[in-house]
Amino acid sequence: MLDFAPMSTYPARVIANFGASAAIIDDKGSIKRAQPLKKLDLLVAGDKVLCTDESGSGETTTRVTQLQTRSTVLARPDRKRQLKPLAANVTRLLIVISPKPAPEPLLIDQFCIAAASAGIQPVIVLNKVDQIDSSASEVTPGDYTGLLDIYRQAGFPTALCSTKTPAGLDQLSELIRQQTSVLVGQSGVGKSSIVKKLLPDQEVRIGAISAATGIGAHTTTVSFWYQLEGGGALIDSPGVRQFAVDYLQTQQVESGFPEIQHWRDGCRFADCTHSVEPDCAVKSALDSGDISKSRYENFLRLSQAD
Ligand SMILES: Nc1nc2c(ncn2[C@@H]2O[C@H](COP(=O)(O)OP(=O)(O)OP(=O)(O)O)[C@@H](O)[C@H]2O)c(=O)[nH]1
Ligand SMILES: [Mg+2]
Ligand SMILES: [Zn+2]
């Protein structure tokens, strides 16, 4: 008899990458701690992989042997300007903003660019609308709904939500049905709260991941993939202050500004940068209010960065 069985390979999904090892879930719903082979690219939440279980000296080690081709990848440069993946096989980027912490339009626009250049649909989600409605609030509704209007006019889907009111997430639930969505934004805007609200058994799931992998699941420091009941998935990600896009070409920056792409055909020069050229249709649209000032200024800032 053979004293080893031929290793069989099976497909799995990466729930989270903890550095030295990753948490994966196979087709039968079984969660394991897995070691990726060194030759593989950095694994991220949402990755589809192939795994094997190796038995030796009474223990079973799960290895990730192959990374399946990603349909999309959300990435950003690290401190050494190396592009690092953050989430894979994503169809929607939920850019979450809130009254407190206050929105950073430049960050929103960086996310719009990153999403568009990766082929991911950005959605602007204003959370904590209960803070706006409450009479005790010192913020005026117009500040935020006005900001949302700018993005709606630019052509992006938007949603209002709250994790503290009963109606709360109805609009958002519609937008994420059958999609794989990654929640991004500043720390404290309520990304993890939204996930918890959409997945009532989220704590049970985290508990199951910790029990199966032996890794205390630090949900705020790494991205986490969660299967949605009715199809699709959600990926929670840690908060960020900025999301550099300066490694992208001007054309890719422009793809994050559909309203600029809409008007640019009317510019006199095909390579118009919409800054100093005469007969610029984008600047005319800015003057007539068809393009928002804040979006235009961020476009210039982000397309001219070295
Ligand atoms: N009033 C109000 N507070 C909320 C709402 N959603 C979340 N919060 C609160 O906002 C705080 C931050 O929420 P988190 O869900 O941890 O925020 P996060 O975006 O995941 O933050 P990081 O993980 O640090 O990036 C918590 O105290 C939540 O209770 C909301 O809809 N309304
Ligand atoms: Mg969080
Ligand atoms: Zn122009």
Minimum-distance ligand to the CA of 239? Answer: 1
Q: Does CATH place domain 250-303 in 3.40.50.300?
A: no
> What pLDDT sits at residue 292?
95
pLDDT in tens, 162-221: 999 987 899 999 999 999 999 999 999 999 999 999 998 888 888 888 888 887 756 568
CB 70 within 8 A of CB 113: no
Architecture of domain 9-67: Beta Barrel (2.40)
**What is d(CA 213, CA 216) in angstroms, rounded to the nearest whole number?**
8
> What pLDDT sits at residue 74?
97
> Does residue 1 register a pLDDT over 80?
no
Model confidence at 56, in pLDDT bands (50, 70, 90)?
Answer: confident
**What is d(CA 224, CA 14) in angstroms, rounded to the nearest whole number?**
9
Model confidence at 107, in pLDDT bands (50, 70, 90)?
Answer: very high
Is any ligand 1 atom within 6 A of the Cβ of residue 164? yes
Structural domain boundaries of the chain? 9-67, 73-236, 250-303
Region of poorest pLDDT, from 1-10, 78-87, 194-203 = 1-10
pTM confidence score: 0.93
Q: How far is the CA of 283 from the centre of ligand 3 (A)?
A: 6
> Does residue 282 register a pLDDT over 70?
yes
Query: In CATH, which superfamily holds the domain spanning 73-236?
Result: P-loop containing nucleotide triphosphate hydrolases (3.40.50.300)
Q: How far is the CA of 203 from the centre of ligand 2 (A)?
A: 13
Backbone angles phi, psi at 88, to 5 degrees: -130, 155
